[in-house]
Structure 1
């Protein structure tokens, strides 16, 4: 794509391109196989997360503080996958690389809104495990439906506000250079590199955003598990200690699947090849929404019992 015309650009003029060109996986060979993989993952993600939401909504036994974050995670996973995978397939499989400036900002907003909520929900789940193990006798007093719903609502408002601010600052950037986004979606990092006016305030937001949605949650989760480990060491019986540890296993797997690839990519910075970065980040955004419900929900005893009850009801109804 040719650079934008900068003849009319001045320090007081904001120039927006009519379209951005998303380069994506153009330089990576055999990407058609990757799109087949994307379609399969998306179909399974929609199916599994919809099933999780249906079960939690219909079974009153699951209407407790533990499953409010699980329902919220399923919503975030489903909406997040819908915000990014169909757009990726349309962009690269059907060669629709052009995206309007307004649609690009909308895409950025929703992709990061649901990624933010996935991160925040994992943080809420770590708090739930912390209270359950460190304050078992006060768990029902501290973690209630009301408190969990309030925390979830506050996090949605916070995530939405943070992304609105980020969109406002991107909208104040002027683009008089290339309009090619070197990513697989409207990634704010590559977009900032295209700006030709003073993008210091927007760059600050761009660096603050990962701090809020990545490093703070990681530090919080790490802190809760340090306290959990101390509490587990005080349990005298090995069987009780293992039982308590087992309740944390699924959450730790979710945390590892979601955060480790992102942290590694950010830690490597410019040393990682751009193609490797895009594949790694795309897998980070599409695999956790599929794995989260399978790892955290379908393996829990309460959820298994709920599925068995549904099966028995349908069996009786058929008779």
Structure 2
């Protein structure tokens, strides 16, 4: 028996979101607008944070990393969707499909880890404010982000290598707009028990552990806010994590809808629509959520835009 099973299928066909020509034109326009908004919004966040010295704090350091991940996340799927619509081709190579799956795994994990790290940052800032500068040093922040990248890369590599061991010798049609792990496993003619076991055990731990950390952090944060004697002080404390909490609800809400809801309510159409939310819509909305609810960030964005306006003149 060879160490690596070779697939007899050289490419897959991504059905996308619709087969109707008129709907495809509308979807192309919507995806293009959302992608441009995602890239522009997140790059503005990164530029605003990097150019304003007042925002050189752990919270905004993590936010700039989240914005970078969101740009990469959206770029993993949307350009391929747009290219398929323009070229009227649904094909993606076997290696291209595995590469796309690897980056989707990796960047989903990074979103997951960064949201947990940001929750921990808010926990320290609100519950232990006197020790914040000593606990959340630049070195600690870099180590948290670097550790997240390493863990996400190893997890994604594990699932990609396991998928590469499978054989695909029958149907090659993926009822999705990108190479997601679930439809790929359904197409395999090999034994997928190991892949499924790793998703349900190691994969579940990777996703659930940060979510539990976020819940615990916000339990302590809520308790600390309720114990603040000043109503104004309580509002100010909660406003610093309100944007993060909104993004957490949006991200995990769509993940739960796709992967953790009862199988009886699943359908390819519903799963695809829910997947669009966390792969395309959530990265687009994150900059708006953070900028609209954050006075310092809004001020930095105004300065950045006005500086660009005057430089053009």
Q: If the length of structure 1 is used for normalisation, what is the TM-score?
A: 0.89
Residue number among 275, 283, 302 corresponding to 1:281 in the alignment: 275
Residue number among 140, 144, 165 corresponding to 2:137 in the alignment: 144
2:126 matches 1:118: no
Distance 2:69 2:251 in 1: 13
Deviation at 1:197, TM superposition (A): 2.2
Distance 1:19 1:316 in 2: 50
Residue number among 61, 66, 71 corresponding to 1:68 in the alignment: 61
- Correspondence list, 1:1-319, <5 A: 14-16=5-7, 17-26=9-18, 30-92=23-85, 94-208=87-201, 210-270=203-263, 271-297=265-291, 299-310=293-304
Distance 2:253 2:4 in 1: 41
More divergent stretch after superposition (298-307 vs 282-291): 298-307
More divergent stretch after superposition (291-300 vs 116-125): 291-300
Distance 2:203 2:302 in 1: 41
Deviations 1:272-300 (A, max 9, x none): 22111101111221111111112114542
Deviations 1:236-290 (A, max 9, x none): 2222222212222111111111111221232334222211110111122111111
Deviation at 1:63, TM superposition (A): 2.1
Deviation at 1:125, TM superposition (A): 0.9
Deviation at 1:169, TM superposition (A): 0.5
Deviation at 1:311, TM superposition (A): 5.7
Distance 1:57 1:306 in 2: 10
Task: Could you tell me which runs of 5 or more consecutive residues in structure 1 were left unpaired when the two chains were aligned.
Answer: 1-9
Paired positions, count: 310
Task: Could you tell me which runs of 5 or more consecutive residues in structure 2 were left unpaired when the two chains were aligned.
Answer: none
Local SS of the residue matching 2:12: strand
More divergent stretch after superposition (149-158 vs 52-61): 52-61
Is contact 1:64-1:144 (8 Å) kept?
no
1:6 alignment partner in structure 2: none
Deviation at 1:27, TM superposition (A): 5.7
Distance 2:256 2:239 in 1: 25
Is contact 1:32-1:93 (8 Å) kept?
no
Deviation at 1:116, TM superposition (A): 1.6
More divergent stretch after superposition (208-217 vs 167-176): 208-217
Residues 58, 192 of structure 1: alpha-carbon distance in 2 compared, 3 angstrom cutoff: same
Deviation at 1:181, TM superposition (A): 1.9
Deviation at 1:315, TM superposition (A): 7.5
Distance 1:291 1:210 in 2: 26
Deviation at 1:87, TM superposition (A): 0.8
1:5 alignment partner in structure 2: none
Deviations 1:208-244 (A, max 9, x none): 4651443222221111111112222222222222221
Local SS of the residue matching 2:58: coil
Distance 2:102 2:253 in 1: 23
More divergent stretch after superposition (208-217 vs 247-256): 208-217
Local SS of the residue matching 1:42: helix
Is contact 2:6-2:165 (8 Å) kept?
no
